Copies of this chain bind each other. A is one copy, B any other.
Amino acid sequence: MKKCQSHPHGSPELPELADRLRRKSRKVTIPRQAVLKVLRVRRRPLTVKEIYEALSPSPCDLATIYRSINLLERMGMVKRFDLGEGAARFELLAEGDDGHHHHLICTRCSDIVEIEECFPEELQAKIAQRNGYSKVTHRLEFFGVCPRCQ
């Protein structure tokens, strides 16, 4: 009797995720479903350790989470972010979404807000051109002190 939430935040539902796995002839296993579920329920980008802890009291091996998350990343279902904390963070991606967006992170409590703004395209084009680079993208994250930590 599971509630049929309509994609809050654009998060795909679990059955859809299972489908995506099957379509690529990947097995839909307990750990993979669990990882997807955690990523879907928690909104902010999670570290592997956070996923692991969210999975207890019936956790799976850390190695399994790493393998799952890497698979999901290769399949384009999950996006990896490096917020410079030493550990990578992962976010669920809606189908077709390339996941390009940025975050604002509280340097005190690690609260994370998703940001819609992006680096201006014309400016990036100018940078690419001036240096003769092609296929230029960027990685951009903001840091500050959140309201509650001030």
Knowing A139-B84, A141-B139, say if A133 contacts B119 (CB, 8 Å).
Answer: no
Tallying the copies of this chain within the complex gives 2
Query: Do residues A134 and B144 form an inter-chain contact, with CB atoms below 8 A?
Result: yes
Query: Do residues A144 and B150 form an inter-chain contact, with CB atoms below 8 A?
Result: no
* Interface residue? A1 (CB, 8 A): no
**Binary contact readout A79-107 vs B (1 if CB under 8 angstroms, 0 otherwise):** 00010100000000000000000001011
Query: Do residues A104 and B146 form an inter-chain contact, with CB atoms below 8 A?
Result: no
* Interface residue? A23 (CB, 8 A): no
- Report B-chain residues with C-beta under 8 Å of the C-beta of A115: 127
| Bound CA span A132–B120, Å | 23
Question: A residues touching B (Cβ–Cβ < 8 Å)?
Answer: 82, 84, 104, 106-107, 113, 115, 117, 119-120, 123-124, 126-128, 131-147, 150
Known: A119-B140, A139-B139. 15 other contacts (CB 8 A): A82-B82, A84-B139, A104-B127, A106-B133, A113-B131, A113-B133, A115-B127, A117-B126, A117-B127, A124-B142, A128-B144, A131-B146, A131-B147, A134-B145, A135-B145
